Amino acid sequence: MDIKKILLVCLLMPLLQSFGQDVETQKKFTFPQSVSIQDFVTNTENLSEFKSYYHSINLYYDLYLDNENKDLYKMGYSLRFRKRIMNDSIETYVFQLKDEMGLEKEIRMEVEENELDFYRVKDEDEWTPLPAVLDVIFNLYSDLSSKPDSILFSHNVELIEKWIKTKANGSIAPFQRLRYIDSLTFDPNKVKSFRPVLIGSSFRKRGHIYVDSSYTAQEKLPFNRKNKTETPMFFKLNTNYNWLFESSIDNATFIYLKNNKSVNIIEYEVENKFIDAQKGHDLLKKYENIMVNRLGLHIKYDSKYKQSIQSLQ
Amino acid sequence: MKRILFLLLFSVIIKINFSQETSYPFLLEEQIHFLIGNYIEDSCVSLCHLRKTTDLLTNRDITHVNGVPLAKRRKAFIRHVKHLSEKLEEIALDKTMVNDSTLNLISELEYLKSSIIAKSNNNLTPFPTIKEKKEMAINSLKSKKWMRYPILPISNINPNETAYWKPINEDKHRSFNALSKLKGINSGKEMAVIFKKLNYSGSAPKIRTYDLNLDDEWSLKWGDEVHTDVAASRIFAAIGYDIDHPYCYKNGKLMLIFDGSRSINNWEQLRDSISAIYDTDLEPFFLEEGTVNQKMATENNELSGYVGNNYVKFIKCGLEARPDRVKRLGTFLPDQLYNHKRLELRGALLLHAFIGNWDTRKENTLLTTVHDGNYNYDVSAVFSDLGASFGVSYSILFADFKVGLVNEFPWEVAFKKKNKVFLKNPINEFPISYSSVDYNDLRWMAKQISHLDSLTLRKCVSKAKWPYPIEELFFNKLASRRASIISSFDIIDPNPIEYNRKITIEENGKIIVKKGELIVDYKIEENPESFISKKGRKRNYGY
C-alpha cells in the first residue's frame, strides 16, 4: 500500500512542478487592403461552425521599454507598461514581458506583474503611485495639443526610469523572468538601463469565438467550463454556447520617442481559451485555415513592438 | 565582533520599545534578536536581505530550496507577499529606523517563508514513515506519564489577539459561522458538487470537488471522521481558534456530479479508484446513482449545465470547504520562531484533551492567507484535521486507528491529585509548545472552556449530525469532561451544565445506551463506519 502511494506521488511530482510557465497560444493576422474591418466583423459573426460575438471596445495605452542598444528587441522580447480602459470605465494597469512568436513557435511567453496599484515611486519627498505616473504620461500622449517632449512628460518618464532602477533586482515578475532567462545578459545593471522608448495606443474590438451545442456534441468536445469570475457574461447567459477563443481587432498607433516618428498597425489576433489544450490547438488551426483561405487574411508573427521598431528606427 | 555588539545593543533598545500591551499578529519579543540579525543593517531594513526572502516566495522560476522542490505558491499568496514587501521596501528606501511595527511585518514574512519551506519538505514524505509511526505509538503510550502538571501559584496572564487566537467574548456558538462568512463559504442543507480529481494523501478516503460556482472547492470524505471533525472544529472555533470548515451530509443530501471531462465519470470508477488508493470499499456508503435530468435542473437552475451527466449520492459523507478566498500554506510552525512561548498555543493542549484529539502532529496545523474580498489578506493560523477525536482507539500492531468511538471517550479528562493536575488524553506528537506547557498555561485554557455554555456545546454537537442516542451520550460526556477540567483547576463554573453519567436511552423498547454506555452497534446500515467496532481504516472499518 505504501509503495503504491509513493509511486503515485512520484508520478504527480512533475505535474506539481509545471506551474512556473506563463504562456499564451495565439494567432495573428493582417488584413489585405481589399478587406475592410467592418466587412470582416460582419463576415466573422457567423462563419460556418465558428461564431463571433463582439462584446466591447477597449482602449489600451502602451509604454515599451528597452535600452540604447535595443537589447530586448534584438533578443526577441518586449517589455511594456499597459493601461487598459474597458468600456470607457474600468481602468487597469499591467507590466508585461513577452517573447516573439515564429513559424515554429506558436506558444508565446507572457509574464505579468498584473497589479501595479501598490507600487509607488518617490518624487522629491513624496511617494507617488506608479499608475498616477503612467496616467500623466498617457494623458499627455493622448492630448494632441501637448508634445511628448514637454517638461512634465520628461519628468514622469524619469520617474519610470527611477522605478526601474530601484526595482531592477526586486520581485517584479518580468525582471525575475529576465534574470531567469539569462542572469548574465540581464544582470541588474542591464535591467537598470531600460527606459521608455516607444509609446502608443490601440483601439481594440474584442470578441468571443464559440461553437454551438450541436457542433460540440458532433465533435465530442468537452464544454469549456470556467469559474464564475473567469466566465464572460455572454456564456453565463447562453449556456449552450461553447467558448473556444477570444479575438481582437487592433487599430494601434505608436510613436518612437527618439525621433517622434509614428506608425499605424492594424491586426487581428485570436487567443486559445479552450479547456482542452490539444483540441483547442486543433480548432485554432481549423479557424486559421478559414481566415486565410476563405477571408484572405495573412498570417503574421511579429509583435507590435517588433513591427514598430522595424518601421521607425 | 563589532556587529555582534551592535546587534545586542540594538535589540536591547528595541526591546525597551516593545510593548506587550500592543497586539501584534506575529511578532514576539523573543524573535527580535533573530529578525534584527537577519533583516536589519544600520538600524534600517536591509533591501538586500528583504529581497532574498521575497524573491524566494514570489519568483516562480525558483523551483527548489536547499535541493527540495518548492511547494506551489498561489497567485493570492504571491500578491500578499508583494504587498508586504513593498511596505518594507518603502521603509528601507526612506531609511526609517526600525520599530516593532516594522519588525512585525518582517516577522510575518518570515512566517510565510518558513511555512512554505515546511510544506515543501513535507511534500517529500506525505505519508508517515515507519520511524514516525513508531514515534507516534511511543508518544501515545507515554502521554499519561508526561501529562502531569505541578500546581503553581496562579498567574492570570491572558494572551493578546494574534494570528493564532482571537478572544470570543459573546455568542461563542456563532463563531464558526462568523468565520465561514468571512471566508465566503456557502454551505446549504442540500449540496451538489462536481468531481474534480482524486486525492492521494491522508489515511481516510477523500476526493477533490468543485462547488457549482466553480470558484470554490470542497473536499469530500467518507469514514469515521465525518461527525467528529464537525464537532471538534466548532468547539475550537468557539474558543477563538481558526479552523477548517467541515460539514456532515446524510441521506443523500449531497449529490456528486461527474461532468464528463474528468478521468472519473461514474460511481463504479470512483469506487474502484478509492479502493485502489485507500484500500477502502465505499459500497456501504453508497445510496443511489443516476443521471441529472431536466426536472432537477428546473428545481435547481445551477444544475442546468449538467443535464445528462451522471451523479451519485451517499448514505453519509463529510464535506470540507476549500474556499477560493483561503490559500493554505504549510504548518503554522508550532516548533519554530519561538512559537512555544505563545500562551494561546501552549494552552491549546488542554483543548485537544477536552475533545479527546489524538492526532496533534504539526502537519495538522496550517498557515492560511484569507482574502477579505478587497485585495487585502489576513494571515491566520488554523487547527486543521481535528477529526481524530471523541474516542480514539489505535492499534500499534496495524499502525491503524479508529475515531468517534463513544465508549472510548472517557467521562473525565482531568483530575487533581496531591499537588499535580493530570490529563488523561494520549496524543501522538508533542511539539515544543505542548511539551513545555505548565499549570498556568492549562489554567488559562480551563477558564476559556468554562465559558462554553450549554447552548454552545449543544450546537457544536448537534451540527455533527450523530444519531440521537450517540449525540446525547457525547453531549453528556463533554459536559462531564468540562466539569472535570474546571474543578481540577479550582475555577468557579460560570455556566454549570447538567449531565448524567448513568444516562439510559431506549428506542422502540430496545435499550441503546445503558448507564452511560452504548450497548448496540447502532443502525449499522445507516452508520457503516460503526460507533463500536474498533477496526479502523486499514481494516476497512470492519466491514
- B86/A119 CB distance under 8 A: yes
- A225/B90 CB distance under 8 A: no
Q: What is the mean pLDDT of chain A?
A: 87
What is the least distance, in Å, from the CA of B275 to any CA of chain A?
Answer: 11
Rounded to whole angstroms, the Cα distance separating B266 from B91 reads 56
Query: Which pLDDT belongs to residue A106?
Result: 74
Q: Per-residue b/e over B496-533, b at no fewer than 16 CB within 10 Å?
A: ebebeeebebeeeeeebbeebebeeebebeebbbbbbb
Query: Which pLDDT belongs to residue A148?
Result: 58
Residue B356 dihedral angles phi and psi, to the nearest 5° = 70, 35
The lowest-confidence range among A277-281, B86-90, B227-231 is: A277-281
Query: Which pLDDT belongs to residue A149?
Result: 63
pLDDT in tens, B268-284: 999 999 999 988 999 99
- A227/B214 CB distance under 8 A: yes
- A275/B214 CB distance under 8 A: no
pLDDT in tens, B130-146: 888 889 989 998 998 89
Query: Which pLDDT belongs to residue A217?
Result: 87
Judge whether A8 is closer than 8 Å to chain B, CB to CB.
Answer: yes
- B72/A19 CB distance under 8 A: yes
Judge whether B133 is closer than 8 Å to chain A, CB to CB.
Answer: no
Sign of CA dihedral B12, B17, B21, B24: negative
Q: From residue A311, how far is each of A256, A302, A306, B236 by CA, in Å?
A: 10, 12, 8, 67
Q: Considering only the beta carbons, identify the residue of A8, A20, A177 that sits closest to B63.
A: A20
Query: Which pLDDT belongs to residue B3?
Result: 55
Alpha helices (H) along B454-536: 454-462, 468-488
What's at B219, amino acid-wise? Answer: S
Q: Is the pLDDT of residue B4 over 80?
A: no
Rounded to whole angstroms, the Cα distance separating B476 from B458 reads 10
Query: Which pLDDT belongs to residue A266?
Result: 94
B473 within 8 A of B516, measured Cβ to Cβ: yes
Q: How confident is the model at residue B540 (pLDDT cuts 50, 70, 90)?
A: confident
B246 within 8 A of B232, measured Cβ to Cβ: no
Rounded to whole angstroms, the Cα distance separating A167 from A158 reads 14
- Grouping H, G, I as helix, E, B as strand and the rest as coil, residue B469 is helix
Question: Using a CB-CB distance cutoff of 8 angstroms, which residues of chain B are in contact with residue A225?
Answer: 214, 259, 261, 305
Nearest CA in chain A to B79: A115
Judge whether B79 is closer than 8 Å to chain A, CB to CB.
Answer: yes
Choice between B254 and A33, residue whose per-residue pLDDT is larger: B254
What is the least distance, in Å, from the CA of A151 to any CA of chain B?
Answer: 26
Q: How confident is the model at residue A37 (pLDDT cuts 50, 70, 90)?
A: confident
Residue A90 dihedral angles phi and psi, to the nearest 5° = -75, 130
Query: Which pLDDT belongs to residue B397?
Result: 74
Judge whether A169 is closer than 8 Å to chain B, CB to CB.
Answer: yes
The lowest-confidence range among A102-106, B38-42, B465-469 is: A102-106
- Locate B246 and state its grid cell: 467541515
- A170/B89 CB distance under 8 A: yes
**Whole-prediction pTM value?**
0.90
Query: Which pLDDT belongs to residue B7?
Result: 52
Residue with cell 488551426: A285
Q: Considering only the beta carbons, identify the residue of A22, A120, A227 that sits closest to B90.
A: A120
CA atoms within 13 A on the CB side of B402: 21
> What is the average per-residue pLDDT within B104-108?
97
Rounded to whole angstroms, the Cα distance separating B451 from B168 reads 10
- A4/B89 CB distance under 8 A: no
- Locate B52 and state its grid cell: 532574498
B234 within 8 A of B467, measured Cβ to Cβ: no
Judge whether A112 is closer than 8 Å to chain B, CB to CB.
Answer: no
> What is the average per-residue pLDDT within B65-79?
94
Query: Which pLDDT belongs to residue A33?
Result: 81
Judge whether B308 is closer than 8 Å to chain A, CB to CB.
Answer: no
Rounded to whole angstroms, the Cα distance separating B224 from B371 reads 32
Q: Give the percent of chain B with pLDDT over 90.
A: 83
Q: How confident is the model at residue B156 (pLDDT cuts 50, 70, 90)?
A: confident
Closest by Cα among B77, B510, B125, B152 to B326: B77
Question: Using a CB-CB distance cutoff of 8 angstroms, which residues of chain A are in contact with residue B127?
Answer: 2, 5-6
- B63/A17 CB distance under 8 A: yes
What's at B108, amino acid-wise? Answer: E
Q: Is the pLDDT of residue A10 over 90?
A: no
Closest by Cα among B385, B360, B363 to B136: B360
What's at B476, amino acid-wise? Answer: N
Residue from B61, B209, B212, B376 whose CB has the most chain A CBs within 10 Å, to mutate: B61
B180: left (phi over 0), alpha (psi -120 to 50) or beta: alpha
Query: Which pLDDT belongs to residue A7?
Result: 40
A40 within 8 A of A30, measured Cβ to Cβ: no
Q: From residue B521, how far is each of B89, B228, B355 by CA, in Å?
A: 63, 17, 22
- B200/A9 CB distance under 8 A: yes
Q: How confident is the model at residue A1 (pLDDT cuts 50, 70, 90)?
A: very low
Q: How confident is the model at residue A278 (pLDDT cuts 50, 70, 90)?
A: confident
The lowest-confidence range among A26-35, B110-119, B419-428, B480-489 is: A26-35
Judge whether A1 is closer than 8 Å to chain B, CB to CB.
Answer: yes
Q: Could you tell me how many CB contacts below 8 A there are between chain A and chain B? A: 84
Nearest CA in chain A to B303: A239
Judge whether A219 is closer than 8 Å to chain B, CB to CB.
Answer: no
Query: Which pLDDT belongs to residue B17?
Result: 53
- Give, rounded to a whole angstrom, the gap between the first and last alpha carbons of chain B: 68
Q: What is the mean pLDDT of chain B?
A: 93
* Reported ipTM exceeds the 0.90 cut: no
Query: Which pLDDT belongs to residue A113?
Result: 95
Q: From residue B384, how far is each of B181, B233, B356, B357, B452 by CA, in Å?
A: 18, 8, 15, 12, 21
What is the least distance, in Å, from the CA of A121 to any CA of chain B?
Answer: 9
What is the least distance, in Å, from the CA of A120 to any CA of chain B?
Answer: 8
Q: Strand runs (DSSP E) across chain A, as ranges?
A: 23-30, 46-47, 50-66, 77-86, 90-99, 107-113, 120-123, 126-129, 195-211, 242-256, 262-272, 298-300
pLDDT in tens, A176-213: 999 998 887 888 899 999 999 999 999 999 999 999 98
> What is the average per-residue pLDDT within B199-212?
90
Query: Which pLDDT belongs to residue B11?
Result: 54
Query: Which pLDDT belongs to residue A36?
Result: 86
